[in-house]
Structure 1
């Protein structure tokens, strides 16, 4: 049962300065706000309540997302995401490894091609120097002393060879005039035919007849 409000003229009390205190005018006995309890809170408490409500709302949204994706808990969702990240990282690592291997193979192929070109260039320049008269070790020395760029053409190499021959003529002396002919297969000089032993007579008694001739018992044949 709602308690009736006092009359507006009723004096409820007096203030310190002596003025009377009367009921608030305009209130209604049927107003629902008469049964509500008014609570006063500080701004800090209000901020805490708002943050708590926001956090609860965030957790509710996460639970809704987990249920929508078909997981039973956030831990399952986290484990699935971690697995996917590891798989993507592994794929990236494999791709990087393949790219590194491909780069290494391309680098090795370029190095082999460069070395082959260098050998061909060196052989061509040795042939040109040999045409100027260098040979043997002098040819190797002339090739080392040849002053020419790697990308020089035949005319530039020929000009550099002529300049080298003018500076170092001793490298271009024909070796055939100075070298001793190689030894023959038998060990004697090349101008002397190799020693060939006389054939031995293997008939019966031939050895005895030969010994008698050497001793002068029989006339020589």
Structure 2
């Protein structure tokens, strides 16, 4: 559009110079050519201002849309991670409770073992068989206790990993908010000033050529 206006402007200049010798007959009116050129210059300025406003508006809409989408994604992931952490914490509490129950059984069996050992020392004939049974039962409980302990440690490691991911997502959410503020600031700073052409004396938009 500005290029077409420039072409019309140049044609008016050519026409003004062409019909300049006829001005003494008061036809055509040279002032009309100049008035048309001034109108074209003002129209170019208004078009440029309109384009700047449209660009700022579109840029602002796009930035807000991207930021909102990223924020929604992060919020969804954070919610999901929190739910997983909650489930893991419940699972960990159950395993810890089971470990405590096994420890109580182990203490009871150990007490029974020592009681039988004392009976053996006093000559109880059933001591050896009872001792073998208790040792096997004790070994099984010790193995189960170790397995539950290892599972609890694995759950703790998974929980720490999820907490780290949650922290990273919260940092990403903060970065999105910073990006939005920076983008809005950049959009405000893109307004182009008018400058005066030292040759023609006309107001032109800085950075916009009539070529």
TM-score by length of 2: 0.32
Q: Which has the higher contact order (CA 8 A, sep 6+)?
A: 2
Give 1 or 2 for the bigger CA radius of gyration: 1
Higher helix share: 2
TM-score by length of 1: 0.31
